[in-house]
Amino acid sequence: MALSYQYEDLLPESDEETVYSTLQKLEEIATKSVQKTIHAYSALAYSAGIDSSILATILRKEFGSATLLTLGTPQSSDIRTVAQDNLAMREGFRFYLVNISEQEIEKAAVEVSKIVTASNLAHFEDCVSFWLAASAASKLENLRFILSANGADELFCGYDRFRRLVDEQGYDAASKEICEALDLANKLLEQVGLVVGKFGFETREPFLDPEFVDYCLKIPIEYKILKGNDMLRKRIWRCLGRSLGVPPSTVLRQKKAMQYGMGVHAVTCSMLKHGTLKLEFSTSRNRGIA
């Protein structure tokens, strides 16, 4: 199959040979990062989005199996999406689907507020999500690490603010934002470590591995996001997902960040509105669509 046919919907008018070589190197570096950072006794926080689907696929390819853990309120988008997802049902995956209640989210939010210093509401809600994931993982046997695909949104312009920056200020502004977003992601990683540590776990985030980050920063930003109201974004990353065999519906799906998909954001906002949770942040920046 010609390369132009495979990827021209995601990267129109791009040089085929350059796209192909970029994908080869991107897969190589991503795989190496997974090999370096992943331990056998691990569970992946899985949402059926492009990021966690790529990580799950590489895990199964390299280790023969992977434990996937999906959480959400019964009506949350992550629960609905994963219920229709055919990647998690493939051979080699140990898949756990955990329904959580609003009361469990409220309890987690209160506990997390006692131990983290978050940069903004979205980062606090990320920590709440990881608290819930670690709590669920603690009920499974032989697990020591919680895995996530954090880093891809920062590196490949996944957040909606990148769309606005590119269209209003150009690619240079978006490139600067990538570096600032990575700095925030690394600060979040420290706080998430505190949260999962309460359950005796450590975190592993291969897409924030320095070698992976260094390579992705060299990929032309035009391969990550297009001008003209790009609602999809993460273009070359989605190409990698397609080349790895990630389901087509996932490759082209727009998906909100974890705290939205699990139902954490709605509960947290309600708590703040009614005064049952009080938070202070060093910045008002929030994360957008993942």
The domain ranges of the chain are 15-274
DSSP element (H, E) containing 68: strand 66-72
126-161 confidence digits (pLDDT tens):
999 999 999 999 999 889 999 999 999 999 999 999
**Model pLDDT, residue 237:** 98
Q: Which of 88-92, 100-104, 225-229 has the lowest mean pLDDT?
A: 88-92
Residue 2 has pLDDT above 70, yes or no: no
What the block records as the tokens of 122 is 């979205």
- For residue 222, the 8-state DSSP code is G
Biggest alpha carbon–alpha carbon distance for the chain: 58
pTM score > 0.75 for this model?
Answer: yes
The class (CATH top level) of 15-274 is: alpha beta
What the block records as the tokens of 159 is 């957040």
246-285 confidence digits (pLDDT tens):
999 999 998 888 889 999 999 999 999 999 999 988 665 5
Residues 49 and 30: their CA atoms lie apart, in Å, by 17
**Model pLDDT, residue 212:** 98
